[in-house]
């Protein structure tokens, strides 16, 4: 156990593990208020005063929540819920190193949760001292490595600089880093490109490798355990391509892995960077999992800006007052819509093409974290946990699925994300408005339309309104603001988990399918080694599935 964790922190945290969400006094209060939620469609339902008052900000973002079906009495009840659950107190304990990745009385990972330590680097007294020190060590290694790349000290066998990097990983080792790279492409260093291979589908790797000069390409392989099947399979495909091109893979391959894992091997990798057990995959984008790739693409200083933005939002998430804490407010609004108003999904709708993969990252961050059905004491949940997360960028989405959001029978709460200024600052005045103004006008219009609806004698042109939504608005999508936005959603997810009293930091749900896949792969291997092989006697169900799929003879 790390020094950052002490007995007092552990004992204080244990108090919250036995709390029953459904028995909290605030829950009964909010159930009563939910019987008649605020009507946004009335004459004064969405007044200028309400729009101005229902605003919360931190780290350069404004959260506008006037288009939610609540009033001051509901906000007071949500504040009570936050206080009774100890959500913010637990967030602070998490940052100090409490062991929160656990299920009391049952075998579990029993780990700290210290992704915030990766960016707790800008004060003399970081909350999780040893973890922050380890983050500094890895950043120093990264800075040295990037400096050697820039100076030409590290080059290919012909003395040429590396222009491309292939990032090989899956899940949290791909989704967050990829989302950040695409979001910040405007800040990419000249002559540097990054490509991603994640799917074990061999066509994914083939398509990426087809257009590359491998002699000027680095490969960054990311796996904490060093044994992730999809990642290791893709790594070997890529190594084979380098060998076929007459190149020594060891001179091109980097590893991001756990210390002492099978991948922590200087005979196979040019450099190794470490990730740690206390950082979960879906929370790892600001660790070396994302930093190595982002450092290559953007440069070291821009990586620091991402960390600064994330750290600023992490600090804001420790504010007990929901009106001053966007992450807490966003978490509680989600709980209000999900647990009390009964809405099952959330649409993440960024009005920024650069955030094209951000919703995909949030699907994992949220649904893998809070898609749980037992409490932290191993008891069956008697209340709803995480919602279904999905989304695409606007305005494209308006021409795809907004019809259902506006007039469908299922109400979908929406979270709009936008920026007052574009990244590239390249725009034209067309029909008396710029493209950025058109983008923002559409964002604001969709929010208003969902909330207020439209009365019409023609039922096909009638909009019911009262479709709850929020707007997250920043100045410009930069490395700093991207770090803040990432940390905002990470904190939202974590705080919701604390309120629901579930473990947001393991992912047992992905393990069963992996085990069954291993059984089926055993059949493939058996058939390959013995033409007369029949695995029916060993695994009747698996053999039947292979037969039904036409993958083995009947």
Q: Which of 9, 81, 102, 89 is nearest to 375 (CA)?
A: 102
Q: Is 384 left (phi over 0), alpha (psi -120 to 50) or beta?
A: beta
Render pLDDT for 169-212 as a digit per residue (tens, 0 to 9): 999 999 999 999 999 999 999 999 999 999 999 999 999 999 89
Distances from the Cα of 259 to the Cαs of 64, 118, 128, 431, 545, in angstroms? 43, 16, 19, 58, 39
339 secondary structure, DSSP code? I
Mean pLDDT confidence for 98-111: 94
- pLDDT surpasses 70 at 554: no
Is the pLDDT assigned to residue 1 strictly greater than 70? no
Q: What are phi and psi of 274, to 5 degrees?
A: -105, 145
What is residue 512's predicted lDDT score, i.e. its pLDDT? 85
Q: pLDDT band at 514, cuts 50/70/90?
A: confident
Rounded to an integer, what distance in angstroms lies between the CA atom of residue 421 and that of residue 408?
A: 32
Mean pLDDT of the residues in the chain? 94
User: Does residue 403 surpass a pLDDT of 70?
Assistant: yes
Structural domain spans, the chain:
509-548
Q: What percent of the chain has pLDDT over 70?
A: 97
Return the H-helix or E-strand segment holding 87: helix 87-96
CA distances from 455 to 36, 41, 449, 462 (A): 21, 10, 11, 5
What confidence score (pLDDT) does residue 550 get?
86
Q: How far apart are CA 549 and CA 554, in angstroms?
A: 10
Q: Are 221 and 167 in contact (CB under 8 A)?
A: no
Distance (Å, rounded) from C-alpha 162 to C-alpha 509?
Answer: 39
Find tokens 């290919």 and name the residue.
156
Cα separation, 299 vs 305, in Å, equals 10
* pLDDT digits 0-9 by tens, 537-552: 778 788 888 888 888 8
Task: Label residue 3 by pLDDT band (50, 70, 90).
Answer: very low
The answer, yes or no, to whether residue 8 has pLDDT greater than 70, is: no
pLDDT score of 5 more than 60: no
- Identify the band that residue 7 occupies on the pLDDT scale cut at 50, 70 and 90: very low
For the cut 60, the answer to whether the pLDDT of residue 248 exceeds it is yes
The three-state secondary structure class of 169 is: coil
Q: Which residues are catalytic?
A: 368, 399, 514
Mean pLDDT value across residues 91-114:
95
Q: With bands split at pLDDT 50, 70 and 90, how would you rate the model's confidence at 335?
A: very high
Tokens of 29: 């209060």
- Mean pLDDT across the stretch 436-452? 97
Strand, coil or helix: 114: coil
Mean pLDDT of all residues in 407-430: 96
The confidence score (pLDDT) of residue 11 equals: 60
Edge to edge, what strands does the sheet with 414-419 contain? 55-58, 61-64, 469-474, 414-419, 345-350, 388-390
Mean pLDDT, residues 374-394 taken together: 97
Mean pLDDT for 63-92 is: 98
CA dist 286 and 457 (Å) reads 53
> What pLDDT is recorded for position 149?
98
* DSSP calls for 129-154: HHHHHHHHHHHHHHHHHHHHHHHTSS
pLDDT value for 509? 87
Distance CA 407, CA 463 (A): 6
Q: Which of these, 96, 90, 111, lies nearest to 495 by C-alpha position?
A: 90
Q: Encoding tokens for residue 443? A: 């964002």
Residue 111, classed as helix, strand or coil, is: strand
The predicted structure's pLDDT at residue 15: 87
Are 100 and 279 spatial neighbours (Cβ–Cβ below 8 Å)?
no
The encoded tokens of residue 178 equal: 């990829």
Q: Please, which pLDDT band fits residue 10 given cuts at 50, 70 and 90? A: low
CB atoms within 10 A of CB 518: 10
pLDDT of 427 higher than 60: yes
Integer Cα distance of 274 and 256 in angstroms? 6
Tens-place pLDDT, residues 19-70? 999 999 999 999 999 999 999 999 889 999 999 999 999 999 999 999 999 9
In the chain, the percentage of residues whose pLDDT exceeds 90 is 86
Q: pTM for the whole thing?
A: 0.95
Confirm if 479 and 183 have CB atoms less than 8 A apart. Answer: no
The pLDDT of residue 344 is above 60: yes
Report yes or no: 167 and 293 within 8 Å, Cβ to Cβ: yes
- Taking only the tens place, the pLDDT of each residue in 275-327 is 999 999 999 999 999 999 999 999 999 999 999 999 999 999 999 999 999 99
Closest CA to 348 of 230, 472, 448, 265: 472
For residue 2, pLDDT beyond 50: no
What is the residue whose two structure tokens read 């206390």?
A: 278
The dihedral over CA atoms of 254, 256, 260, 261, expressed in degrees to the nearest 10, equals -100
- Tokens in use for 522? 């055993």
Q: 513 pLDDT exceeds 90? A: no
Per residue in 118-144, pLDDT (tens digit) is 999 988 878 878 999 999 999 999 999
3-state secondary structure of 505: coil
Local confidence band at 487 (pLDDT 50, 70, 90 cut-offs) = very high
């Amino acid at each position: 156990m790390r020094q950052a964790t002490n007995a007092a922190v552990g004992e204080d945290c244990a108090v919250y593990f036995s709390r029953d969400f459904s028995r909290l006094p605030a829950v009964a209060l909010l159930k009563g208020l939910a019987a008649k939620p605020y009507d946004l469609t009335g004459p004064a339902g969405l007044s200028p005063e309400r729009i101005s008052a229902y605003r919360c900000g931190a780290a350069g973002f404004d959260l506008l929540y006037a288009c939610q079906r609540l009033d001051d009495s509901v906000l007071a009840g949500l504040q009570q819920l936050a206080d009774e659950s100890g959500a913010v107190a637990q967030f602070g304990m998490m940052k100090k190193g409490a062991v929160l990745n656990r299920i009391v009385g049952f075998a579990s990972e029993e780990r700290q949760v210290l992704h915030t330590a990766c960016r707790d680097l800008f004060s003399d007294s970081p909350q999780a001292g040893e973890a922050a020190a380890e983050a500094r060590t890895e950043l120093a290694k990264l800075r040295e490595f990037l400096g050697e790349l820039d100076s030409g000290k590290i080059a290919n066998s012909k003395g040429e600089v590396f222009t491309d990097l292939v990032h090989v990983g899956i899940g949290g080792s791909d989704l967050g880093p990829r989302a950040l790279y695409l979001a910040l492409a405007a800040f990419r260093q000249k002559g540097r490109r990054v490509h991603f291979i994640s799917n074990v589908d061999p066509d994914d790797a083939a398509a990426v490798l087809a257009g590359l000069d491998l002699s000027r390409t680095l490969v960054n392989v990311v796996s904490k355990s060093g044994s992730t099947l999809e990642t290791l399979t893709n790594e070997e495909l890529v190594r084979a391509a380098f060998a076929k091109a007459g190149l020594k893979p060891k001179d091109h391959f980097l590893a991001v892995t756990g210390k002492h894992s099978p991948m922590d091997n200087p005979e196979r990798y040019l450099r190794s960077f470490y990730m740690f057990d206390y950082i979960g995959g879906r929370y790892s984008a600001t660790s070396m999992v994302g930093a190595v790739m982002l450092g290559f693409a953007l440069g070291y200083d821009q990586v620091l800006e991402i960390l600064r933005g994330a750290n600023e939002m992490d600090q804001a998430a420790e504010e007990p007052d929901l009106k001053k804490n966007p992450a807490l407010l966003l978490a509680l609004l989600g709980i209000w819509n999900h647990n009390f108003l009964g809405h099952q999904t959330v649409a993440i709708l960024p009005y920024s093409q650069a955030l094209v993969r951000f919703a995909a990252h949030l699907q994992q961050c949220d649904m893998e974290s809070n898609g749980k059905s037992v409490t932290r004491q191993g008891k069956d949940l008697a209340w709803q946990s995480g919602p279904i997360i999905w989304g695409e960028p606007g305005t494209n989405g308006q021409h795809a699925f907004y019809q259902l959001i506006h007039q469908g029978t299922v109400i979908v709460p929406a979270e709009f994300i936008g920026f007052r200024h574009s990244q590239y600052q390249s725009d034209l005045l067309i029909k008396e408005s710029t493209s950025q103004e058109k983008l923002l006008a559409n964002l604001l219009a969709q929010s208003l339309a969902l909330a207020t609806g439209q009365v019409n004698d023609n039922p096909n042109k009638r909009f019911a309104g009262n479709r709850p939504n929020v707007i997250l608005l920043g100045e410009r999508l930069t490395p700093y603001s991207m770090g803040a936005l990432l940390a905002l959603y990470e904190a939202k997810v974590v705080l919701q988990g604390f309120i629901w009293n579930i473990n947001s930091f393991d992912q047992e749900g992905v393990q069963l399918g992996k085990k069954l896949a291993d059984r089926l792969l055993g059949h493939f291997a058996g058939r390959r080694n013995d033409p007369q092989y029949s695995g029916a006697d060993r695994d009747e169900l698996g053999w039947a599935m292979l037969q039904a799929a036409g993958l083995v003879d009947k």
